[in-house]
Amino acid sequence: MKQAMKAREAGKLRLSVIRMALAALKNKQIELGRELEDDDVVAVLHGELKRRREAAREYRELGRDDVAEVLEQEAAVIVEYLPQQLDEREIRELAREVIAELGASGPRDMGKVMGAIMPRVRGRADGKEVNRIVRELLQSQ
């Protein structure tokens, strides 16, 4: 935050995103009535990221590329504060392990596999992406 404040004009976007994130974290802390744990912080930041990406996509569909661009820049700032995201290869590898552990044999085991894999990737992968990969792997069996 200090670096963004010192950067003046160049840091205005970063500063506003950091302030927004701190406000969202404080609200979550008040809501829970306790100090936030690392998982709570990641969940809040991931939620903020998801909101910005969805809003940017909607603004692009409406032809408001200027607003979408700002939202995407905000999302890029938030990503810097999240744990390193898993790439598709890592998600596939993890999904194969979980499917093997559970002995899942087809699409009807989707819920069981998703229930086991999501705690392992929480905050490090998008749920939609994980769902797509798991569905693909289960259908190919």
List the domains of the chain with CATH numbers.
2-79 (1.10.1510.10), 88-139 (1.10.10.410)
Q: Is the pLDDT of residue 8 over 70?
A: no
Reported as a single tens digit per residue, the pLDDT across 71-93 is 999 999 998 888 888 889 999 99
- The vertex-89 CA angle with 57 and 68, nearest 5°, equals 10
pLDDT at 140 over 90: no
Q: Per-residue confidence at 5, pLDDT binned at 50, 70, 90?
A: low
Phi, psi of 7 (to 5 degrees): -75, -5
pLDDT of residue 9: 60
Residue-by-residue DSSP string for 66-98 = HHHHHHHHHHHHHHTTSPPPP-HHHHHHHHHHH
pLDDT higher for 92 or 9?
92
Q: What is the pLDDT of residue 126?
A: 81
Does the pLDDT value for residue 119 go beyond 80? yes
Q: Is the pLDDT of residue 4 over 80?
A: no
Cα–Cα distance measured from residue 43 to residue 25, given in angstroms and rounded to the nearest whole number: 10
**Residue 31 pLDDT:** 94
pLDDT digits (tens, 9 = 90+) for 22-34: 999 999 999 999 9
pLDDT of res. 82: 87
pTM of the predicted model as reported, rounded to 2 decimal places? 0.70
**Position 11 pLDDT exceeds 80:** no
pLDDT at residue 67, rounded to an integer: 94
